[in-house]
A and B are shown apart, each in its own frame.
Chain A
Amino acid sequence: MQQLTDEPVVRLQGVTKRIGRRTIIDKLTLDVPQGEVFGFLGPNGSGKTTTIRMMVGLMKLSDGEIIIRGHRISSQFEQAIKHVGAIVENPEMYKYLSGYDNLVHYARMFPGISKQRIDEVIQLVGLKARIHDKVKTYSLGMRQRLGVAQAILHKPALLILDEPTNGLDPAGIRELRDYLRRLAAEEQTSVFVSSHLLSEMELMCDRVAIIQSGKLIDIRQIQRLGSEPAAAEVAFEVDQPSEAALVLSDLQVEHKDNRVVLTADREQIAQINAKLVSAGIKVYGIRLLTKSLEDQFLEVTGGEQIV
Chain B
Amino acid sequence: MFDFVQLVRNENMKIYRRTRTWIMFGMLLVLTLAISIAAYAFPDGNLPSMWMAFQINTMLGVNLITIFAVIIAAETVAGEFSTGTIKLLLIRPWTRSKILLSKYISLVLFAFLFVLLLLVWNFVLNWLLFGSDTEARMGVDQLPALNFFLQYHGYEFISMIMVVTLSFLVSTVFRSGSFAIGLSIFLLFGGQLLTGILSLMDYPWVKYVLFLNLRLSDYLSGGNMFGRGEHDLTLGFSLSVLAVYYVIFILITWYIFKKRDVAT
Chain A residues 86-110 with CB under 8 Å of chain B are 86-97, 101, 104-106, 108-110
Q: For residue A85, which residue of chain B has the nearest CB? A: B91
Label chain A's interface by main secondary structure: loop
Q: Is the CB of A96 within 8 A of B91?
A: no
Binding site for B on A (CB under 8 A): 53, 56-60, 77-79, 81-82, 84, 86-97, 101, 104-106, 108-111, 150
- Nearest chain A CB to B260 CB, angstrom units: 9
Residues of A within 8 A of B90 (CB): 57-58
Binds A, one of B8-16, B23-31, B240-248: B8-16
Q: For residue A108, which residue of chain B has the nearest CB? A: B6
- Nearest chain A CB to B105 CB, angstrom units: 15
B142: Cβ under 8 A from any A Cβ: no
Distance between Cα atoms of A81 and B99 in the complex (Å): 15
B197: Cβ under 8 A from any A Cβ: no
- Nearest chain A CB to B95 CB, angstrom units: 6
Q: Is the CB of A58 within 8 A of B10?
A: no
- Nearest chain B CB to A91 CB, angstrom units: 8
B41: Cβ under 8 A from any A Cβ: no
- Nearest chain A CB to B38 CB, angstrom units: 35
Q: Is the CB of B88 within 8 A of A58?
A: no
Q: Is the CB of B13 within 8 A of A106?
A: no
Q: Is the CB of B93 within 8 A of A109?
A: yes
B131: Cβ under 8 A from any A Cβ: no
Within 8 Å by CB of A58, from B1, B18, B87, lies B87
A108 with B85: in contact, given A97-B14, A101-B13 (CB under 8 Å)? no
How many inter-chain contacts with C-beta < 8 Å in the A-B complex?
76
Q: Is the CB of A53 within 8 A of B262?
A: yes
A-contact bits for B244-264, CB 8 A (1 contact / 0 none): 000000000000000001110
Residues of A within 8 A of B3 (CB): 111
Residues of B within 8 A of A58 (CB): 87, 90-91, 261-263
Q: List 25 A-B contacts (CB under 8 A).
A: A56-B91, A57-B91, A58-B261, A58-B262, A59-B261, A78-B95, A90-B84, A92-B83, A92-B87, A93-B88, A94-B14, A94-B85, A96-B19, A97-B14, A97-B17, A101-B13, A106-B92, A108-B6, A108-B7, A109-B7, A109-B92, A109-B94, A110-B92, A111-B2, A150-B88
Binding site for A on B (CB under 8 A): 1-3, 6-7, 9-10, 13-14, 17-19, 83-85, 87-88, 90-95, 261-263
- Nearest chain B CB to A144 CB, angstrom units: 13
Further 14 A-B residue pairs, CB within 8 A, beyond A59-B261, A96-B19, A106-B92? A56-B91, A57-B90, A58-B91, A78-B94, A88-B87, A91-B88, A92-B83, A92-B84, A92-B88, A97-B13, A104-B13, A106-B88, A108-B6, A108-B7
Q: For residue A150, which residue of chain B has the nearest CB? A: B88
Distance between Cα atoms of A90 and B87 in the complex (Å): 10
